Amino acid sequence: MPRLSAEKINEIRQSVDIVDVIGNYLSLQKKGRNYVSLCPFHDDSHPSMSISPERQIYMCFVCHNGGNVFTFLKNYLKIPYIEAVKMVASMGNIDISEYNLEKRVQPVEQKFEPLYKMHDEANKIYNHYLNTKLAIDAKEYLTKRKITDEIIDMFEIGYAPSNNILLKAFEKMNFNKVSMYESGLVIESNAGYDRFSNRIMFPLHDANGRVVGFSGRIYQPSQNESKYMNSPESDIFIKGETLYNYHRVIEETRQAGFVIITEGFMDVIALYKAGIKNAVAIMGTALTKGHVSLLKRLSKTVYLCLDGDKAGKNATIKSIDILLHEGFTIKVVDLPENLDPDEFLDKKGGDELESLIKSPLSSLDFKMNYYYEMTNMDNYDDRKKYLETIAKEISNLSDIIDQDYYIQQLEKKSGFSKETITRLVSDKNVSKIEQVNPSNYIPYQKSIRLIDKYVRAERDLLYYMMNDKNVAMMYEAKAGFMFNDTYRIIASYIVDYYRQEVVLEVADLISSIEDENLVKNIVEISQLELPELQDSKAIEDYIEIIKEKTVRIKVEELTKALKDTFDPKQKAQILKEIIALKDKE
């Protein structure tokens, strides 16, 4: 049975009108071109939800819940996405009985065998090339980053040269073109070409230790591309079901009694350098159900060691809630100064990293600090909200001594009396207090600051990309990169979308995206009302602004490299590059 294709899902979506469907559940009023309604996703007293018949999407201007007809049913009825698709199909009288609606099937199917073979072969080829003349600079970079031969062997690090080496090898081995493209290792074009070229290669394995994808890193300051490039998802590589290093840590985790979760594979390698061998990485996605079931097989105790920046902290809060719900014991390694583990190791050394991991915070301590930093304690309402949020968490603790400890902590932080806190914690109604969603939590200082010029440029550019294929093509050709993680992913979805289509329907674009945060952002950006483009000059300006930031970051990197270099010849070379870059600014 075939799986539901994106086309079929769009056909299902188009078989109904979102206004009719939402109208079945909420009372709608016409307002201009749109309909409005009280929002069911937050405590709404004025109609804050807007439904666009033209675009077939909805959005709440207060809580930012938004999406297409599937998103609405999924959120409103609290059903899985696929159930929402089934419901709409039956409303629109579309027969889907011949489709396989199960989640991806796990057992190795015969037809995936070529994909595994190609990845295995690619890994061998990349490993081989790291020891050739072509990779002298790459090898030097690794040495500079203190990545020793032992680490190279351990993590099977390799090098992708720039002469379509895989394409040639696969042709010799008689793989067909379709399989090559499906593997993601070769990109489709008239002749086809290797996805990875002139990059240091890190293989990604599945739970059984088979290579299913790669991440390639640039290593020269002059390389004007995104720092990391990952394999696209394929039949054998599903990001939400892949934990980097999983197959190597089973024994180490059993001995240590816990597993450490980091964001990226460089963090796993950094911890390894510091002698800590029980770490895995979620490869830049949010923690998924797939990750959780892998983790369950490893250990019931998890140390979250995500990046120390705002995004990392938000992700930590979300991961805590998911893992607590699944019965894990959680500790948090709270990295200071916005650092990730790799940067921390670089700055402070292995001993400090080890001692940080040996003294993790409890998940509640982390939450208390996190929300405290984000709350304006001079504002009574905000302070009260903080009190309620943490009191609810304390009421969930089963240990009375723990409860007492945290009540004291909360007294110090919130300024409310111990009596008030104790009463609130034991109040039955405390469980009804609404959980604060970190991504909806607007930090106190940030809300009054203007949004960063670079972030704005990226956001606006996305808006124009959604409205005009030419802009998306220009972006791909001239920039191909955004700094904001969310925006970068959205941009790649848009570019991908235009490979098949000429006009972008926001409602269709989000059909294929499961991540709620991405959907929310896409809907929000699509609702911006930016002036119509007169010519391509405005777009060129946006791309210039993004590039300007690239240059700035590169100058920073080079300046750092300059400090670390002792060879006068190299120093001169780096200096030359800096000057050349500064001229461009």
* Binding flags for Zn ion, 311-350, as an x/- string (CB under 5 A): ----------------------------------------
The stretch among 23-31, 53-61, 150-158, 179-187 that binds Zn ion (CB under 5 A) is 53-61
Minimum Å gap between C-beta 37 and Zn ion is 10
Query: How far apart (Å, rounded) are the C-alpha atoms in residues 534 and 191?
Result: 37
Does 42 sit near Zn ion (CB under 5 A)? yes
User: For 175, how many CA atoms within 13 A lie in the half-sphere containing its CB?
Assistant: 28
Considering only residues 58 through 117, tell me which ones interact with Zn ion, judged by CB under 5 A. Answer: 60, 62-63
> Which structure tokens are listed for 160?
């992708």
Residue type, 286: A
- Least distance between Zn ion and beta carbon 60 (Å): 3
From the list 17, 41, 247, 436, which residue makes contact with Zn ion (rule: CB under 5 A)?
41
Query: What's the closest the beta carbon of residue 41 comes to Zn ion, in angstroms?
Result: 4
Q: Under rule CB under 5 A, how many of the chain's residues touch Zn ion?
A: 6
Cα separation, 136 vs 576, whole angstroms = 21
The values of phi and psi at residue 583, to 5°, are -60, -35
Quick one: CA dihedral 33, 539, 310, 285, positive or negative? positive
> Whose Cβ is closer to Zn ion: residue 23's or residue 480's?
23
User: Do the Cβ atoms of 244 and 237 come closer than 8 Å?
Assistant: no
Cβ 484 vs Cβ 462: under 8 Å:
no
Closest contact distance (angstroms) between CB of 434 and Zn ion is: 12
Q: Which is nearer to Zn ion, 75 or 329 (CB)?
A: 75
**Distance in angstroms (rounded) separating the CA atoms of residues 51 and 28:** 9
Measured N-to-C along each axis, helices 485-498 and 453-467 cross at an angle, to the nearest 10 degrees, of: 20
Residue 62 or 250 having the CB closest to Zn ion: 62
Instruction: Give me 225's structure tokens.
Output: 């591309």
Give least dist CB 432 to Zn ion, A: 18
466 scored as a contact of Zn ion (CB under 5 A): no
Piece of the chain touching Zn ion by CB under 5 A; list 42-50, 171-179, 237-245, 518-526 = 42-50
Nearer residue to Zn ion within complex by CB, 60 or 270: 60
Residue 457's contacts (CB-CB under 8 Å, 6 or more residues apart) are: 542, 545, 546
Shortest reach from residue 59's CB to Zn ion, in Å: 9
Smallest separation (angstroms) from Zn ion to the CB of 82: 25
Report the C-alpha gap between 283 and 218 in whole angstroms: 17
Residue 60 vs 509, nearer CB to Zn ion: 60
Instruction: Report the candidate in 224, 215, 38 with the shortest Cα–Cα distance to residue 122.
Output: 215
Residue 38 lies near Zn ion (rule: CB under 5 A): no
Q: Does the footprint of Zn ion cover residue 488 (CB under 5 A)?
A: no
- CB nearer to Zn ion: give 62 or 361: 62
The DSSP bridge partners found for residue 330 are: 302
List the one residue from 39, 281, 425, 509 that touches Zn ion (CB under 5 A): 39
Nearer to Zn ion by C-beta: 26 or 461?
26
Q: Mind giving me the DSSP string for 110-142?
A: GGGHHHHHHHHHHHHHHHHHHTSGGGHHHHHHH
Identity of the residue, 62 or 256, whose beta carbon is nearer to Zn ion in the bound complex: 62
How crowded is residue 305: how many other Cβ atoms within 10 Å of its Cβ?
30
Q: Which residues of the chain form contacts with Zn ion (CB under 5 A)?
A: 39, 41-42, 60, 62-63
